[in-house]
Amino acid sequence: MRVLVIGSGAREHALLTALRRDPAVEYLAVAPGNAGTAAIADQHNVDGASPDEVTVLARRLNVDLVVIGPEGPLVRGVADAVRAAGIACFGPSREAARIEGSKAFAKDVMAAAGVRTAASETVADPALLDAALDRFGPAAGQPAWVVKDDGLAAGKGVVVTADRDTARAHAAEVLDDGHPVLLESFLDGPEVSLFCLVDGATVVPLLPAQDFKRVGDGDTGLNTGGMGAYAPLPWLPASVTAGIVAEVVAPVASEMVARGCPFSGLLYAGLAITSEGPAVVEFNCRFGDPETQAVLALLDTPIAGVLYATAAGTLAEAQPLRWKDGFAVAVVLAAANYPGTPRTGDVLAGADGEGVLHAGTALRDGQLVSAGGRVLTVVGTGPDLTDARADAYRTIDRIQLSGSHFRRDIALAAAEGRIAL
């Protein structure tokens, strides 16, 4: 099989690594890729968000399958263009990608499917903002305001705060950018990321994971695209995971079929396991980053056939997924100033070896340098979370990047048994 992966992050590096392990894959390409992916796939400097450029490249390379990593190309219809050219594509249509591209659309789908989520209100008129804020957060007896950009924000367009001024400032900034604001009720309980392969009404779950959005230890500081993740979750009973599939993901998939925009690809349910049961925080239309890096480290089934079956509409005929024993922990190494404007161009040392996945990296005059906010993801594995954490931190501690930072507490609470339902 000849495969083209679209994207340039550690998520795509993880996908490429899994595809490279699959004996069915005879050719592997990535566009645009990064300094790390260049070692395992042919790289092509095209605009991954351009339907025309991706389609032309896929035809020229004569690939059998295109796998789209980021949300941007999906929302812009790249998968539609690839399929229209007669090439199998892993990733939803532009219409189906609205499950992530429009939070209001996602809320409407969930309401129709009977799926529990946070109460919400969309505000498009700045004159109505203050009255709406009064209906949420501490003003309404909730611990905090949850303020979201109703659109794509790469996981960073969310502010959760008990400070009204902070909530209002973020909402005003979103409105000033020309986007509606989504206000939501606060959901208590630990969060879970559940990836599911979805082919119409067929749903196949992967291992549940948990990610860490805040930049600092103890979930302090600003929101980021994600500073780490681990899988599976020792504190989450299998019955709860099965319930999420049956009562959340499957009804949403069926509702999208009924609306004439069936989902094909990876549907990512972000949930809070509240005192009243699972409730959806958000849906994403693609593999999450950095959870993918942890989850795929444990996948034992060759991945190419599974992705192709999803893209070709034959997922229901695929064999059950096989998983390795043990746990995986992914830790993100970020550049100086991230999640603000990152400092780039600093030389990286020690960023090689097993478990080191590149994101914001580039080659400059033969040297490996930082080229983005999240520079690397380091994945450790082990028979338990303590060993997996030790493996990840042993590797990340030998990497040198001036001004870089990472969280020291990824999966720590779970490893110490401090998360319980």
- Give the pLDDT confidence of 194-205 residue by residue, as tens digits: 999 999 999 999
**pLDDT category of residue 104 using cuts at 50, 70 and 90:** confident
191-317 folds as D-amino Acid Aminotransferase; Chain A, domain 1 (3.30.470)
pLDDT tens for residues 203-257? Answer: 999 999 999 999 999 999 998 999 999 999 999 999 999 999 999 999 999 999 9
**The pLDDT of residue 54 is above 70:** yes
pLDDT of residue 158: 85
> What is the model's pLDDT at position 83?
98
* Residues 186, 180 contacting (CB under 8 angstroms): no
What is the share, in percent, of the chain residues with pLDDT greater than 90? Answer: 90
Reply yes or no on whether the pLDDT at 315 is more than 60: yes
Distance of CA 275 to the CA centre of its chain: 25
Of 372, 298, 390, which Cα lies nearest the Cα of 333?
372
Domain 2-93 class, CATH top level: alpha beta
Integer CA distances (angstroms), 24 to 19, 28, 90, 148, 405, in order: 9, 11, 17, 42, 38
Residue 227 φ/ψ region, left for φ over 0, alpha for ψ in the -120 to 50 degree band, beta for the rest: alpha
Q: Which of 394, 392, 393, 361 is nearest to 376 (CA)?
A: 361
Mean pLDDT of all residues in 372-394: 98
> What's the topology of domain 120-184?
Dna Ligase; domain 1 (3.30.1490)
Residues of the chain with CATH 3.30.470.20: 191-317
Tell the CATH topology of 327-415. Answer: Glycinamide Ribonucleotide Synthetase; Chain A, domain 4 (3.90.600)
> pLDDT value at position 165?
96
Reported as a pLDDT band with limits 50, 70 and 90, residue 103 is confident
pLDDT of residue 156: 52
Residue-wise pLDDT tens digits, 331-375:
999 999 999 999 999 999 999 999 999 999 999 999 999 999 999
- Residue 120, pLDDT score: 87
pLDDT value at position 258? 98
Q: What local confidence, expressed as pLDDT, does residue 152 receive?
A: 63
**134-185, pLDDT tens digit by residue?**
999 998 999 999 998 876 655 557 888 999 999 999 999 999 989 899 898 9
Q: Which helix (H) or strand (E) holds 248?
A: none
| Mean pLDDT of the residues in the chain | 96
| Residues 10-41 pLDDT 10s | 999 999 999 999 999 999 999 999 999 999 99
Question: What pLDDT does 294 receive?
Answer: 98
Q: What is the pLDDT of residue 153?
A: 56
> Is residue 266 pLDDT above 60, yes or no?
yes
E-only strand ranges, 21-167 = 27-32, 42-43, 65-68, 88-90, 120-123, 145-149, 158-161
pTM listed for this prediction: 0.92
- pLDDT at residue 84 is higher than 80: yes
Q: Which ranges of 90-237 does DSSP label H, i.e. alpha helix?
A: 98-101, 103-113, 129-133, 164-176
